[in-house]
Amino acid sequence: MKILLVGASGIIGKGIDAELSPRHEIIRASRNSGDVHVDLQDSASIRTMFEKVGTVDAVIAATGHVHFGALADMDEEKYRVGIDDKLFGQINLVLIGREYVSDRASFTLTTGILSKDPIPFGSSASMVNGAIESFVRAAAIEMTPGQRINVVSPGVITEAMEGYAAYFRGHDPVPAARAALGYAKSVEGLQTGQVFEIF
């Protein structure tokens, strides 16, 4: 398969690349590196990316930013970080990408454990993750016949604990290589409308 991996330069993206590249052609996309560049907050940039890479058999989104902060300090601007980047960035990959994918293509988005297990300072992440998971479940029943959409929801990633440990006390970290198996299941399997939890 020809797979477009958005967020290829990140920790999870590198794990996905290592898992899938021995079996598939990977086109690596990120904001500042890779085979093609994309800004998920800019729909024109997303369209340009798809026009450059041509028809693909799978799209994986392993990226998205949110603002971590105390609820008392949160405001619309801080919530907009996650809404504009992680939420609508991934949704626009689907809305725009459906014009550029093969007849039996799949989309795989990314959320995380905070949709089920909230932490202090993580209200934006929980909100966005929950919205993406609901979108995937609903979109799956209306996708073009033959096309699929799923989401992978990993726990905090082991390789990212240096920066996130203070937020995830008591959590059992998940190695990026293990999280990558959820993406392989989504891309290479037949299920749709699923949330693959890797906790």
Q: What is the CATH number of the domain that holds 169?
A: 3.40.50.720
Report yes or no: 66 and 89 within 8 Å, Cβ to Cβ.
Answer: no
* Domain total in the chain: 1
Interval 85-104 mean pLDDT: 98
Distances (CA, A) of 156 to 11, 117, 128, 167: 11, 11, 16, 10
Q: What is the DSSP letter of 157?
A: B
* Alpha carbons 181 and 19: distance in angstroms, whole number: 7
Q: Name the band, by pLDDT with cuts 50, 70 and 90, for residue 27.
A: very high
**Judging by beta carbons within 10 Å of its beta carbon (0-12, 13-18, 19+), is residue 145 exposed, middle or buried?**
exposed
pLDDT in the model for residue 147 = 98
Structure token digits, residue 149:
């959409």
What's the domain range around 150? 2-198
Tens digit of each residue's pLDDT (9 = 90 or more) over 167-192: 899 999 999 999 999 999 999 999 99
Tens digit of each residue's pLDDT (9 = 90 or more) over 138-155: 999 999 999 999 999 999
Residue 194 CB contacts under 8 Å (≥ 6 apart), including other chains: 136, 150, 151, 186
pLDDT in the model for residue 95 = 98
pTM for the full predicted model: 0.96
